[in-house]
Structure 1
Amino acid sequence: MSRFTTMCIAAGLAAAALVTAVPARAGYYIIRWDNTGVCQVWSEAFAFKPIQWPSGYKVVSHPVPTFNDAFTLQVRLRQQGRCTL
C-alpha cells in the first residue's frame, strides 16, 4: 500500500474511535405550552426545536434517559396540577 492510503485508513480508524467514544445525547424532557398548559414529551434526538407559534413553551423538567421515564414524569406533573393534559 502507498503511504497516502495507509494514512487515510489510519485517519478513518481514528475518527471512528472518537465517534464511538463520545456518548450519545439522547434523552427526553417535558415542555409546557404557555397558552394551554399542556405538557409534552420532547426528545433531544430531534434536530429541531418546537415551533413557538402561536404560543411559547418552557422546559419544566430535567432530561431523563428513557421515554417511559419521561411519560411517568409527565403523568406526575399532571397529577400535581402543573399540566392540564
Structure 2
Amino acid sequence: MRRIFGFCAVAAIGFTALAASSPASAAYHLIRWRDTGFCQIWDQNIPTAPYPGNFRVIVGSEVPTFVDALVFKDGMLRSGACSF
C-alpha cells in the first residue's frame, strides 16, 4: 500500500512539474452559426470541431486571449453582424 501511495505521489509531482513548465497556449476564434446568426467564441485547444458544422469562422486568425475575443464579439454585436 505504501508503494502505491509513493508511486502516486511521485506521478502527481511529475505531472505538476510538466504542466508548470509547458507554456499555456490559448487560441480563440469567433464563429457565427449560419441558421441563427448567433456568434460564439470557440477555443481552438478543444480537439473537436463545433457541432453541427453549419458555422463560419468570422475571425480567420487566432485571437490570443479570451478577453480580446469578447471585445471583438461585442463590436460585432453592436454593428449588427451577430445576433445575441
> Residue 69 of structure 1 corresponds to which residue in structure 2?
68
Greater Rg over alpha carbons, structure: 1
Distance 2:68 2:47 in 1: 21
Partner of 2:28: 28
In structure 2, stretches of 5+ residues that fail to align are 1-21
SS at the partner of 1:79?
helix
Offset at residue 45 of structure 1 (A): 0.5
The alpha-carbon deviation at position 24 of structure 1 amounts to 6.1
What is the total number of aligned residue pairs between the two structures? 64
Shift of 1:31: 0.2
Question: What is the correspondence of 1:5-84 to structure 2 with a 5 Å cutoff?
Answer: 25-52=25-52, 56-61=54-59, 62-84=61-83
**CA RMSD, aligned part only?**
2.0
1:16 alignment partner in structure 2:
none
Task: Look up the equivalent residue of 1:57 and give its one-letter code.
Answer: F
User: For residue 14 of structure 2, what is the aligned residue in structure 1?
Assistant: none
TM-score (norm 2): 0.67
Per the normalisation by structure 1, the TM-score is: 0.66
Matched residue SS, 2:37: coil
Structure 1, unaligned runs of 5 or more:
1-19
